[in-house]
């Protein structure tokens, strides 16, 4: 019974919980758009996001837009806490010339984001594999055995993959996920730090940005990160959507790229981009807003306190040695 009070009394505990709230807010707010994006990427005949939305709601019901959400939602607390904590450490460690009293340099921010994206791919790959299989279930471009034997949830999908493809199957798409997420996270954190400074000059040092600044900077950071990695995300979706029985359509990243472009043209690499960008702005604005607001509440035992006091505590926390990463 004493675990939670002690856990929340530590800065690491508060960071973990705030990261969970931020990640959960992002998943819930953007998941329907993510489902539409996945379906657009997988099939050239899917049509626009609006037409897909109408077809899904009429044929499968509104709940189909949230199919597969349990897998990322269940893991998002740890994943988001890990992302923000690793980034906080790496952004300083990779550019030690900056004083602990000053905000990380833009170089440290970009390199820290690059390392964070690469590391988080190890956990994200199985989660996204399960999510994609569920999102494409009951569609005309799902695998034949998926259409005949629909899964009831993420555990059912994971068991099926382990049984038919083994542990290696759970990590299908790891390479392409790293290639996508490493540069995307570098752009993501750099854009957030740069844009909030432009929207509220001096806030990186004074730590007094408003909610509007966090929402706008977070949204723009999400848009920038998706713009730079979207073609890789299309390839990743197609590789993870296929099973190994009877034989895979694509034999790797290069083969998937060549066949997709040959069969559907280069436009396939940007299919669903509008949906992804719209989702990215909403999701990442929600992530940063929920994360910062939760952190502020936790640092004052449930009530908001002044920005300076909050960020003085955060700065003191981030300047301490990190022993868990």
H or E element in which residue 280 lies: helix 273-299
CA dihedral sign of residues 216, 220, 221, 222:
positive
What pLDDT is stored for residue 301 in this prediction?
Answer: 55
**DSSP 3-state assignment of 54?**
helix
Three-state SS string over 295-309 comes to: HHHHHCCCCCCCHHH
What pLDDT is stored for residue 150 in this prediction?
Answer: 63
Tell me the percentage of the chain whose pLDDT exceeds 90: 26
What pLDDT is stored for residue 114 in this prediction?
Answer: 95
Residue 303 has pLDDT above 70, yes or no: no
- Mean pLDDT, the chain, rounded, equals 79
Residue 77 has pLDDT above 80, yes or no: no
Report the C-alpha gap between 127 and 287 in whole angstroms: 19
What is the DSSP code string of 62-82?
A: GGGGGTTTHHHHHHHHHHHHH
Structure tokens at 38: 């996945």
Closest CA to 131 of 281, 218, 233: 233
Indicate whether this model's pTM tops 0.95.
Answer: no
Question: 321's torsion region: left (phi>0), alpha (psi -120 to 50) or beta?
Answer: beta
The winner for highest mean pLDDT among 12-21, 65-74, 145-154, 184-193 is 184-193
H or E element in which residue 126 lies: helix 106-135
Between 47 and 81, residue with greater pLDDT = 81
Residue 109 has pLDDT above 90, yes or no: yes
Which residue in the block uniquely carries the two structure tokens 């040695």? 321
The winner for highest mean pLDDT among 3-7, 164-168, 307-311 is 164-168
Report the C-alpha gap between 118 and 169 in whole angstroms: 19
Q: pLDDT digits over 138-156, tens only?
A: 654 445 444 445 666 778 8
Between 84 and 77, residue with greater pLDDT = 84
Residue 161 has pLDDT above 90, yes or no: no
Half-sphere exposure of 89 (CA within 13 A, CB side): 15
Domains of the chain: 3-318 (1.50.40.10)
Report the C-alpha gap between 119 and 114 in whole angstroms: 9
Between 107 and 79, residue with greater pLDDT = 107
Q: pLDDT digits over 32-74, tens only?
A: 888 888 787 766 666 677 888 888 888 888 888 888 787 677 7
Buried b (16+ CB within 10 A) or exposed e, 188-215: bbbbbbbbbbebbeebbeebebeeebbb
Residue 277 has pLDDT above 50, yes or no: yes
């Amino acid at each position: 019974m004493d675990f939670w009070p002690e856990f929340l009394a530590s800065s690491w505990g508060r960071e973990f919980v705030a990261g969970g709230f931020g990640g959960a807010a992002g998943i819930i707010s953007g998941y329907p758009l993510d489902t539409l994006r996945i379906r657009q990427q997988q099939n050239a005949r899917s049509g626009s996001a609006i037409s897909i939305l109408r077809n899904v709601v009429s044929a499968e019901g509104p709940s189909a837009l949230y199919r597969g959400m349990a897998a990322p939602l269940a893991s998002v607390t740890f994943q988001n806490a890990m992302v923000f904590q690793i980034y906080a450490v790496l952004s300083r460690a990779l550019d030690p010339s900056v004083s602990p009293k000053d905000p990380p340099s833009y170089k440290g921010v970009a390199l820290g984001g690059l390392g964070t994206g690469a590391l988080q791919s190890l956990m994200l790959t199985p989660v996204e594999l399960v999510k994609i299989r569920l999102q494409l279930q009951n569609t005309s471009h799902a695998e034949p055995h998926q259409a005949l034997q629909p899964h009831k949830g993420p555990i059912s999908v994971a068991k099926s993959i382990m049984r038919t493809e083994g542990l290696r199957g759970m990590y299908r798409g790891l390479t392409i996920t790293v290639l996508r997420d490493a540069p995307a996270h570098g752009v993501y954190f750099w854009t957030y730090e740069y844009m909030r400074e432009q929207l509220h000059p001096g806030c990186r040092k004074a730590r007094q940005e408003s909610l509007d600044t966090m929402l706008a900077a977070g949204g723009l950071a999400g848009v920038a990160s998706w713009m730079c990695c979207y073609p890789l995300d299309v390839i990743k979706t197609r590789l993870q959507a296929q099973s190994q029985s009877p034989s895979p359509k694509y034999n790797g990243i290069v083969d998937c790229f060549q066949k997709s472009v040959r069969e559907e043209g280069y436009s396939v690499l940007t299919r669903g981009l509008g949906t992804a960008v719209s989702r990215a702005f909403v999701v990442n604005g929600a992530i940063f807003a929920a994360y910062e607001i939760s952190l502020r509440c936790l640092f004052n035992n449930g009530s908001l306190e002044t920005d300076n006091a909050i960020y003085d505590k955060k700065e003191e926390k981030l300047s301490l040695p990190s022993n868990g990463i």
